[in-house]
Amino acid sequence: MSATPPDVREPVAEDGTATVPRRPSRWWIVAVPVAIVTMLAASGYRVPVFWWESGQHHEIADGEAEEWVAVAEQTSDAHGDLTRRYSVRLAGLGGADPAYVARFDEFRLADGMVARTVRLDFRADPGQSLKNCALTLVDDEGRQYRVGHVHDGIGPKTRVCVPEETPGPGLPIIESEVRGRLPEGEQPRPREWSVSPAIAVPENATFVELRISFEDPDYVTLRLPR
Amino acid sequence: MGENVALGRGVLRRARTYVSGRPTTQKAGAGVAAALLASAPFGGLAAVPEPPPGTLRLGQPIQVGPYEMVIDQVVELPDLAPAVTPQPSERVLVLDAHVTLTGDRPEYAVTLTNHVTVAGGGVEVEGRPSLYFVEDSSRMSGFNPGLTYRLALTFTTSGPWQGDVVTVRTNLVEFREEDRQTLDPDAWVGRDEVEWQGSLPLVRRT
Amino acid sequence: MRRTVASAALVIAAMGLGRLINDHVPLGDSADRPFVSTGEVGRPVVLDYAEVTVTAVHVTPTVMGNPASASGGRWLVVDTELLARTRPTLMSGFFLVDAQDHRWIASTRGSECASSASLSTGVRHYASFCFDVPRRALGGARLVATRGAWTSHESEFRRDAVADVDLGIAGSEVDDLWAQQEPLDVRESGPVPPGEARR
């Protein structure tokens, strides 16, 4: 073993003048964090797709029961971006009914479950699309009871938050449809209305909030009195 | 003229020096390359010709990926209610077939319907075919292996078929342990290559 | 020069180590394998998102409906009760596994035969799954129930909870079950218990 390793020794040119010492490459020290960030970004698409857009994660408005809450929700249709505007007030929860009665579902509940109505008042322009809303009651244990979502087993699917006979327009899904246009023969929705859809819940549950959601991840929270 | 000869000799000499200075492995490689180039006029560089598609006949078992299919007849109908009801101007072309899934795992029907096409007749064929049970006209969406079903592979055509024969083609469907396109392991992947082709007689029913 | 040889040796050793880890450490198990809870007919299997109970198992050549559907082999019909525990849940994965560890998927052919189940929290859901299978699938068959649908690479229920219920078919019973001719009336899936009409 010589005293000095060959590649850290000051190289000396033939004419005796010293040249710049040769050093091991250090560029990878910069490259490593760049590589890690690139890797995380490349696999990060899973976060929006499988988590953010597949559940209720973004509270866009909130308020107490019996107070009006104004909501402006960013959404889009076949023609581009738009804002869904409405005001909502939670008037309260109805009593307990052992039978679940909805448009296509009528049956007796079991296992200590009852049907409770959610009384909601709405105000909105008749041109706003308010079909396809889901209502979720959350209890003090964090359990969620929902009606109106496309994957819900029981209850109405599209007309939870709007009047049965005058639900108003839907969002255009193809470009030939016109925003805000009603089907032939349908009357426009009133500017103010009330709904009271039923949700199947345990009789002894204590509810802390009601969530209103049209599209994940956005939702509106209306807190119930404790 | 003489100058040119001298120049040529000079180039040759330099080339010879260069070649003799190369290691043996490089010389061998160059030899192989030269032999390959020399074979080019006789087809040495041409791609291996793809085998022509097998001839498809009625009643003959053919393999489409994991499926064994026997086409019993080809029928044209104005509609196949309740399964298929096209516009009055359109027609339904049905491959009446017996299909068995081979292998030991289930498959979805698209692995079959994506790879069977019909042509000829001077009409347009709309999209991919659908698959129904002949017995009860319910839709067939997934197969379990080892069972044979009589199924109707239905194509909707833009109008009445011209002529008495239908050209039926099936594509080559390969099993890949690792598919580079989908990154799925053990997948059946269709190739853009006709494996079976035949002109089958058409039966018209009203 | 010695340094070059050392770093080359290091790179080769690292690659060899990677290969060894890849070949001999069961990484796939920890990355893909679902969490399996086993059970038997009549007892609920408790998963973190749902309770799965197989209530009855039938074997028949014909499922009644409009029209009645004859099987290619035999219909193995599995009646279930499903209950979401804490939030609304969509269960799309219901398939059979036989004694040889082969998979069999449910048919959507009988109009009342279910292929998935939308569960409202706390509301019991009754669903029957119909499997058209050959004789070899019957003995020792198990129902696997989970949220993700079955696909050939079984990626839709990785690291998810899965119920694996033994349907209690002994190999010696297969011949008798196969010989049964009684057609079966499959009931529509939903929140109404079988035997009770909708109000």
Name the token pair of A40: 């995380």
Q: Which residue has the higher pLDDT, A95 or C49?
A: C49
State the Cα–Cα distance between residues A107 and A154, nearest whole angstrom. 10
Residue of C nearest to B178 (CA): C153
Domains of chain C, residue spans: 1-32, 34-185
Kindly report, residue by residue over B167-200, the tens digit of the pLDDT: 999 999 999 988 787 777 888 999 999 999 999 9
Beta strands in chain C (DSSP E): 35-40, 45-46, 50-64, 69-84, 89-91, 93-97, 103-105, 117-119, 125-133, 142-146, 161-166, 184-185
| Selection from A120, A114, A186 nearest residue A148 by Cα | A120
Give chain A's end-to-end CA distance (angstroms, integer): 80
Interface residues of A toward C, Cβ cutoff 8 Å, are 5-7, 99-100, 105-111, 113, 141-147, 149, 151-155, 200-202
Please give the pLDDT value at position C199: 40
Residue C95: list chain B partners with CB under 8 A: 106
Tens-digit pLDDT profile for residues C73-108? 999 999 999 999 999 999 999 999 999 999 999 998
Residue A7 phi/psi, 5° resolution?
Answer: -90, -5
Indicate whether C66 pLDDT > 70. no
Q: Which of residues 65-94 of C touch B (CB under 8 A)?
A: 67-73
In the numeric block, the tokens 């995380």 are attached to: A40
Q: Write the pLDDT tens digit of every residue in B6-61.
A: 767 778 888 888 878 888 888 888 888 888 888 887 777 777 777 788 899 999 99
**CA pair distance A164, A92, nearest whole angstrom:** 20
The architecture in CATH of the region B54-204 reads Sandwich (2.60)
pLDDT of A19 reads 64
Would you tell me which CATH number, out of the four given (3.40.50.300, 1.50.10.10, 2.60.40.1240, 1.10.645.10), belongs to the domain C34-185? Answer: 2.60.40.1240
The label of the residue with tokens 């119909």 reads C130
Q: How far apart are CA C147 and CA C162, in angstroms?
A: 8
Helix or strand run (H / E) with residue A119 = strand A113-123
Average pLDDT, chain A: 89
Answer whether C85's CB lies under 8 Å from C50's CB: yes
- Cβ separation C107–B148 shorter than 8 A: no
Quick count: other Cβ atoms within 10 Å of Cβ A194?
11
Q: Which residue is listed with tokens 């598919």?
A: B179
**Which one-letter DSSP state was computed for residue A98?**
S
Here the ipTM equals: 0.86
Residue C190 Cα distances to A112, A143, B83, C55, C153, angstroms: 18, 21, 26, 15, 30
Q: Apex CA B110: angle with CA B107 and CA B116, to 5°?
A: 120
Place of tokens 């509301």: C123
Low-confidence ranges of chain A (pLDDT < 70): 1-20
Domain ranges (residues) in chain B: 2-42, 54-204
Please tell me the least confidently modeled range out of A18-22, A116-120, B1-5, C125-129: B1-5
Nearest CA-CA distance, residue C2 and chain A, Å: 10
Nearest to B103 by CA among B50, B6, B175, B189: B175
Q: Which chains touch C (3 or more CB pairs under 8 A)?
A: A, B
Determine, for residues A142 and C124 on separate chains, whether the beta-carbon distance falls below 8 Å: no
- C136: DSSP letter: G
Number of domains in chain A: 1
Residue C160 tokens, joined: 């998810």
Query: How far away is chain B from the Cα of C197, in angstroms, using its nearest Cα?
Result: 26
Least Cα separation, residue B47 to chain C (angstroms)? 35
Say how far apart CA B170 and CA B63 lie, in whole Å: 9
Report the SS3 class of residue C154: coil
CA neighbor of A193 nearest in space, from A152, A153, A162: A162
Nearest Cα of chain C lies from the Cα of A32 at a distance, in angstroms, of 17
Backbone angles phi and psi of C12, in degrees to 5: -65, -40
User: What CATH number should be reported for the domain holding residue A178?
Assistant: 2.60.40
Predicted confidence (pLDDT) per residue in B96-129, tens digit: 999 999 999 999 999 999 999 999 999 999 889 9
Q: Which domain holds residue A210?
A: 59-223
CA gyration radius, chain B? 28
| Strand pairing category for A58-64 and A218-223 | parallel
What number is the average pLDDT over the span C140-165? Answer: 94
Query: pLDDT band at residue C197, thresholds of 50, 70 and 90?
Result: low
CA–CA separation, B14 and A214 (whole Å): 81
Q: Provide, as residue numbers in chain B, all residues whose Cβ is less than 8 Å from the Cβ of C133.
A: 144, 147
